[in-house]
Amino acid sequence: MSVYVVNEIVGTSTKSWEDATKQAIETAAKTVSDLRIGEVVKQDVTVENGKVSSYRVRLNISFKYKEK
Structural domains of the chain, count: 1
- Per residue in 10-62, pLDDT (tens digit) is 999 999 999 999 999 999 999 998 899 999 999 999 999 999 999 999 999 99
What is the CATH number for 39? 3.30.1660.10
Residue 57: give the domain boundaries.
Answer: 4-64
Q: Which long-range contacts (CB under 8 A, 24 or more apart) does 9-13 make?
A: 9/58, 9/59, 9/61, 10/56, 10/57, 10/58, 10/59, 11/56, 11/57, 11/59, 12/54, 12/55, 12/56, 13/54, 13/55
- Per residue in 14-24, pLDDT (tens digit) is 999 999 999 99
